[in-house]
Amino acid sequence: MTPGLGPVVRECVEGYLFGREPLEFLLLRRPPSRGSIWVPVSGKVEPTDADLETAVRREVLEETGLSTPRSVFPLDWHVPFRADNGETWRLHAYGIEVAERFTPRLGPEHDAFRWVPLETALSELHFPDNREAVRRLVGRLGLPKGV
């Protein structure tokens, strides 16, 4: 049971794609029907997913076309939230390092993308938990957390 939210009904994953030298993050924009907000890769864990890492790898492939990230690692952080249907869902955040910037293959969930520096990611990601996940990722990399 999550205090104030009730039992978790659905597990979800988020993938924060980044490249180094310079440090940049991939942001995806939802279409106007979904608020035109900037977000990371995200999605629900499906019954066919063996575990959370499998789920985030699947979501990265589905939402960007990337099949071979340099590394995938949990940020050891999860966030319960109330979904639009009133249920309590929980997000599990992952860092996804890419060997080089690429042009993602966008599906219907997103209408634009941008590779941005840390400061822009922290100012343009829509949800506070997205910004906190980026700060945790940067800390995990041993870099100053910036803004």
Write out pLDDT tens, residues 12-58.
999 999 999 899 999 999 999 999 999 999 999 999 999 999 999 99
Burial of 116 (0-12, 13-18, 19+ CB in 10 A): middle
Q: How would you classify the pairing of strands 8-19 and 41-44?
A: antiparallel
Out of 3.10.105.10, 1.10.275.10, 3.90.79.10, 1.10.1040.10, the CATH code matching 8-140 is: 3.90.79.10
- Candidates 120, 51, 114, 42; CA nearest to 79 is 42
7 secondary structure, DSSP code: S
Judged by DSSP in three states, 18 sits in strand
CB count in 10 Å sphere of residue 21: 6
6 secondary structure, DSSP code: B
Cross-strand pairs, 125: 38
Domain segments of the chain as ranges: 8-140
* pLDDT of amino acid 5: 82
Q: How many CA atoms lie within 13 A of 110 on its CB side?
A: 24
* pLDDT of amino acid 39: 97
